[in-house]
Amino acid sequence: MPTKEGLSVQAQITLLYHVKPQAAREVYVNLGTNYEQVIFQSNFLATAREVSSRYFAKELYAIKLEKVEKVIMEELIEHIASKGFVLDAVLLKDIILPPAMSQAIQDKVNAEQSARQMEFVINKQKKEA
């Protein structure tokens, strides 16, 4: 999926849905047995890409997972509700960042920890003095 800054991230996304019982015959007649490919794969992939491109990679990675799930779900509902389907959940399981981005995040965390440790040492020395 593309991100706001133009990176590509991989994601594991689970889509839970079911056919409305009263629409089962219509779904089968109009879409056939491969309704999953016709309706879900095309709409789902397009929606996931479009939504992910609104966020930075670091937001997708940790900060806004629930919000991204909610937005994907809302937009998918708009596309598929009229076709006889009910969307139960969108679950964003894993976001896999490019290796350089993962390393940059780890470096930042390490730098923040070092800074906190240094502040602690300085405060301790001030108190002892």
Q: pLDDT (tens digit, 9 = 90+) per residue, 24-41?
A: 898 888 888 888 888 888
0.95 surpassed by pTM:
no
CATH architecture of 1-97: 2-Layer Sandwich (3.30)
Q: pLDDT (tens digit, 9 = 90+) per residue, 56-69?
A: 877 777 667 788 88
The answer to whether 7 touches 57, Cβ cutoff 8 Å, is: yes
- Cα–Cα distances in angstroms (integers) from residue 115 to residues 92, 104, 118, 119, 122, in the given order: 33, 16, 5, 6, 11
SS3 9: coil
Q: pLDDT (tens digit, 9 = 90+) per residue, 56-108?
A: 877 777 667 788 888 889 998 888 878 888 889 988 887 777 777 777 777 88
Measured between alpha carbons, how far apart are the two ends of the chain, in Å? Answer: 55
